[in-house]
């Protein structure tokens, strides 16, 4: 029974993701406008969800999937690991069971260090990323956005 309920929830989420557009807005913000060779600059992936909607932490719990970042970086710039903010723990009763998920509602800012190589060539550098996430309210939707900024 326990696995049947989880399977039903997963199937509902998968089918609903193709029917509705994502609501979350995403942008990239840099901790500095300029950097020197060997510097580390933080890039913030700022996500803003409408009231009632949420996205998921790196360990989403019993449902959901975490935000993923696919970087397109110039030669001489390397992205580190995502620094995740502390999520909110949500407990949802389902019959005699409880589902625990770790979510962000309202907004979340994921920080990623960008390491600048010591031998990088001077000039403006384009920083781009494809951000993918799952957001939920009463139904779940897969979202993605291509975002960019310059350093």
Question: 34: closest CA among 147, 125, 129, 148?
Answer: 125
CA distance 141 to 135: 5
pLDDT at residue number 57: 96
> Going by C-beta distance under 8 Å and a sequence separation of 6 or more, which residues neighbour residue 36?
116
Other beta carbons within 10 Å of 32? 13
Count of H helices and E strands in the chain?
1, 10
pLDDT at residue number 111: 98
Record the tokens describing residue 6, joined without a space. Answer: 């989880």
Q: What is the pLDDT of residues 92-130, one digit of tens each?
A: 888 899 989 999 999 999 999 999 999 999 999 999 999
pLDDT at residue number 94: 84
CA distance 53 to 51: 6
Q: Is the pLDDT of residue 14 over 70?
A: no
pLDDT at residue number 18: 45
Q: Are the C-beta atoms of 127 and 147 separated by less than 8 Å?
A: no
Q: Is 17 left (phi over 0), alpha (psi -120 to 50) or beta?
A: alpha
Q: Is the pLDDT of residue 2 over 60?
A: no
Q: What is the pLDDT of residues 27-79, one digit of tens each?
A: 999 999 889 999 999 999 999 999 999 999 999 888 899 999 999 999 999 99
Mean pLDDT of the chain: 88
What are the DSSP calls for 80-136, one per residue?
Answer: ---BPPP-EEEEEEETTEEEEEEEEESEEEEEEEEEEPTTPPSS--EEEEEEEEEEE
């Amino acid at each position: 029974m326990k696995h049947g309920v989880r399977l039903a929830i997963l199937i509902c989420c998968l089918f609903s993701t193709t029917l509705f557009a994502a609501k979350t807005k995403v942008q990239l913000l840099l901790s500095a406008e300029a950097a020197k060779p060997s510097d580390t600059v933080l890039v913030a992936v700022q996500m803003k969800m409408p009231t009632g909607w949420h996205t998921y932490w790196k360990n989403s719990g019993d449902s959901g999937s975490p935000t993923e970042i696919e970087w397109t970086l110039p030669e001489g710039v390397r992205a580190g690991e995502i620094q995740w903010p502390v999520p909110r723990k949500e407990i949802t009763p389902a019959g005699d069971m409880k589902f625990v998920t770790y979510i962000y509602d309202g907004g979340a800012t994921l920080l990623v260090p960008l390491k600048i190589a010591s031998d990088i060539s001077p000039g403006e550098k384009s920083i781009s990323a494809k951000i993918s996430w799952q957001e939920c309210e009463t139904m779940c939707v897969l979202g993605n956005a291509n975002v960019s900024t310059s350093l």
